[in-house]
Structure 1
Amino acid sequence: MTVRDVKEILGAQVISGEEFLNREAQTGCGSDMMSDVLAFVEEQCVLLTGLCNLQVIRTAEMMDVVCIVFVRGKRPDEAMIELANEREIPLLCTGHRMFTACGLLYQNGLRGGTSN
C-alpha cells in the first residue's frame, strides 16, 4: 500500500511531503505512546497517532516510518512540519478516530506486522 493509498482510504489531507506519496508501506501501527512504537513497530510502517509533539517525528525517523497520520483532526505545529520536511517524512491528517482509521487501513489490506 502506498502513502497515496493511505491518504485516499482515510480521506486525509497532506500537510507536508506530497512528493513522497508513492512510498510503499508494509505495515501499520496506531499509538500515542512512542515507547510502544519503539518496541513494536517494524520498518516501512504507517504510524497513526493523536500525539502532536516533536518526539513523534524523532521516533518516526528512528523506526523508518514511511508516513505519520494524525488522527482525530490533530494537526502538527510548524516546528513539527519543519522537522518532518528535513527528515523527508510525509505528514497527513484525518478526522477519523484512531480505531476507525486503523480499521479502514486493515480492511484495505494493511496489516499490523508480526506480534512479539
Structure 2
Amino acid sequence: MKVSQLCKLLDAQVICGKEFYNNEIEKGYSSDLMSDVLTLDTDNLLLITGLCNLQTIRTAEMADIRFIVFVRNKTANEDMLTLARENNMCILESPYTLFKASGILYEAGLNPVY
C-alpha cells in the first residue's frame, strides 16, 4: 500500500517526510506499547499508534520503522519532527481511532505483522 493511499483511507496528513508519499508499505502494526514495538523484526512497516511523544520516535528508530501514523488527532511536536527528519521517517496524523484506522487498513489489504 502506498503512503498516498493510506492518507486517503485514513484522512491523514503527511506532517514529515512528504518525499515518501509514493513509497510502498508492506505491513502494519498497531500498538501504544513501545516495548511490544521493540520486539518486531519486520522491514517496510507502518506503526499505527496513539502514543505521541519523543519516545515513540526513538523506539521507531531502534526498530528501523520509517512510517508512523499518529491516530486520535494526536499531533507531533517540533522535537519529534526534528528527530523524525534526522532518521528519514514519514510521520502522518489521522483523526481516526487506533481501532478504526487498523480496521480500514486491514480491509484495504495492508498485511499484519502476525
Q: Tell me whether 1:85 sits opposite 2:108 in the alignment.
A: no
- State the AA in 2 paired with 1:49: T
Match of residue 110 from structure 2: 110
Inter-CA distance 47–92: structure 2 relative to 1 (3 Å threshold): same
- Aligned-pair distance for 1:41? 5.3
- Aligned-pair distance for 1:113? 2.1
TM-score, normalised with respect to structure 1 = 0.92
TM-score, normalised with respect to structure 2 = 0.93
Inter-CA distance 87–27: structure 2 relative to 1 (3 Å threshold): same
- Aligned-pair distance for 1:64? 2.3
Structure 1 runs, 4 residues or longer, greater than 2 Å off: none
Alignment of 1:63-78 (within 5 A): 63-78=63-78
8 Å CA contact 1:27, 1:44 repeated in 2: yes
Q: Secondary structure of the residue that 2:38 maps to in structure 1?
A: helix
Alignment of 1:17-96 (within 5 A): 17-40=17-40, 42-96=42-96
8 Å CA contact 1:67, 1:91 repeated in 2: yes
Q: Secondary structure of the residue that 2:9 maps to in structure 1?
A: helix
8 Å CA contact 1:29, 1:41 repeated in 2: no
**C-alpha root-mean-square deviation of aligned residues, in Å?**
1.2
8 Å CA contact 2:46, 2:66 repeated in 1: yes
User: What percent of counterpart residues are identical?
Assistant: 47
Inter-CA distance 30–14: structure 2 relative to 1 (3 Å threshold): same
